């Protein structure tokens, strides 16, 4: 497959995968949690790396995925003291875990290919060089399978647990009364978000994952009032941002990840303007 097409596919699948857990983080007013998770999973990756000494080990994914719920648990532990609000607690937990990870990398993993630049910004350009071979046959870039797999995982989870996600997000009290544990769904969602973030991490780095998790769902939120259409719209916007971002970056000869994030912002602005116009028309029609 052509390298350029591979990069675009990885970008589109990554963004699409992020949009699904992102939609529910947004609806639960937990957008900043995605920022928190995308940073703290780095500690999970680093700790797992120290254990297995292999950057391509799937254990790194598991370490990272475990860090998401740990982050949420630590944050809630602080919130439960009633001494700080949720956002302050988030602001304390994630810089702590993230900075430990950065110190560990710079101090002990300097020789490994785990440097802070690639962690922060990702290395999508190099993704096509990392091939997946089965019995000596090259079947495509590893990143393609990783991002595709995570996208499919998110779609599957969404289809299975749509009803549970809806009720625990909208009315956690009724959900609890009816036996759908909001806590269980919350940790499930965090695990899915962390796993997805790890995949996105390789493509766009830890900072821009937040752009993919939140901006496309936020734009979709302004375009639709149907919970079924929300993740679908967000997936389309995310994937389009990935592809358009790639072409813009090639044309301007700048960072691919940066351009993709810019496109998510452009889509959000367009949705915002559309929403304002629609509301004004709606108000005018009422007169």
Partner 1 sequence: MEDFAVKIQGLTVAYDAKPVLSDIDLEIPKGRLTAVMGPNGAGKTTLLKSLLGLIPKVKGEVEFSCVRGKPPKIGYVPQSESIDTDFPVTVLDVVLMGCYGRLGWIRRPSKEDKEFSMEMLSKMKMEQYWDRQISRLSGGQQQRMFIARALAQKADIYFMDEPFKGVDAATEKAIIEILKELRSGGKTVVAVHHDLSTAPEYFDWVTFINNRVIANGPIEQVFVGENLSRTYKAGGVT
In the complex, which residues of this chain contact partner 1 (CB under 8 A)? 27, 82, 160-164, 166-167, 169-171, 173-174, 176-180, 221, 224-227, 230
| 3-state helix, strand and coil shares in percent for the chain, rounded to the nearest 5 | 80, 5, 15
Closer Cβ to partner 1, 128 or 188, answer by number: 188
Closer Cβ to partner 1, 115 or 164, answer by number: 164
Compute the distance between CA of residue 170 and CA of residue 183 in angstroms, rounded to an integer. Answer: 14
Closer Cβ to partner 1, 118 or 166, answer by number: 166
Q: How far is the CB of 253 from partner 1 (least distance, A)?
A: 40
Cβ neighbours for 38, distance < 8 A, ≥ 6 positions apart:
197, 200, 201, 206, 207, 209, 210, 213
Contact 144, 6 (CB under 8 A): yes
Q: How far is the CB of 36 from partner 1 (least distance, A)?
A: 22
Q: How far is the CB of 34 from partner 1 (least distance, A)?
A: 19
| Four-residue CA torsion sign, 141, 143, 149, 155 | negative
Q: What is the CA radius of gyration of the chain?
A: 19
Closer Cβ to partner 1, 231 or 238, answer by number: 231
Closer Cβ to partner 1, 131 or 279, answer by number: 279
Q: How far is the CB of 112 from partner 1 (least distance, A)?
A: 42
Contact 50, 108 (CB under 8 A): yes
Q: At what angle do helices 59-80 and 86-108 cross, to 10 degrees?
A: 140
Contact 211, 264 (CB under 8 A): yes
Q: How far is the CB of 32 from partner 1 (least distance, A)?
A: 17
Q: How far is the CB of 252 from partner 1 (least distance, A)?
A: 36
Q: Is 122 helix (H, G, I), strand (E, B) or coil?
A: coil
What distances in angstroms separate CA 279 from CA 108, 282, 286, one per listed residue?
Answer: 55, 5, 11
Closer Cβ to partner 1, 99 or 183, answer by number: 183
Compute the distance between CA of residue 139 and CA of residue 143 in angstroms, rounded to an integer. Answer: 11
Among 249, 6, 250, 247, residue whose Cα is nearest residue 129: 6
Q: How far is the CB of 108 from partner 1 (least distance, A)?
A: 42
Compute the distance between CA of residue 18 and CA of residue 121 in angstroms, rounded to an integer. Answer: 16
Closer Cβ to partner 1, 116 or 181, answer by number: 181
């Amino acid at each position: 497959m052509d390298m350029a097409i591979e990069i675009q596919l990885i970008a589109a699948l990554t963004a699409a995968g992020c949009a699904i857990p992102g939609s529910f983080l947004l609806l639960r007013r937990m957008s900043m949690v995605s920022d928190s998770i995308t940073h703290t999973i780095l500690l999970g990756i680093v700790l797992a790396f120290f254990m297995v000494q292999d950057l391509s080990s799937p254990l790194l994914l598991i370490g990272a995925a475990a860090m998401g719920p740990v982050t949420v648990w630590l944050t809630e532990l602080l919130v439960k003291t009633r001494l700080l609000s949720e956002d302050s607690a988030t602001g304390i937990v994630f810089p702590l875990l993230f900075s430990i990870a950065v110190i560990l990398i710079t101090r002990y993993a300097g020789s490994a290919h785990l440097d802070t630049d690639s962690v922060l910004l990702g290395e999508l350009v190099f993704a096509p060089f990392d091939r997946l071979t089965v019995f000596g046959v090259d079947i495509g870039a590893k990143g393609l399978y990783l991002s595709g797999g995570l996208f499919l995982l998110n779609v599957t989870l969404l289809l299975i647990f749509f009803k549970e996600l809806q009720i625990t997000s909208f009315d956690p009290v009724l959900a609890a009364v009816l036996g759908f544990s909001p806590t269980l769904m919350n940790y499930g969602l965090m695990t899915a978000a962390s796993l997805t973030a790890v995949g996105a991490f390789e493509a766009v780095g830890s900072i821009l994952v937040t752009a993919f998790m939140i901006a496309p769902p936020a734009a979709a939120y302004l375009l639709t009032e149907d919970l079924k259409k929300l993740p679908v719209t967000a997936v389309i916007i995310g994937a389009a941002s990935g592809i358009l971002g790639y072409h813009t970056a090639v044309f301007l000869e700048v960072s691919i990840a940066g351009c993709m994030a810019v496109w998510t912002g452009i889509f959000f602005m367009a949705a915002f303007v559309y929403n304002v116009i629609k509301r004004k028309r709606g108000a005018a029609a009422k007169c």
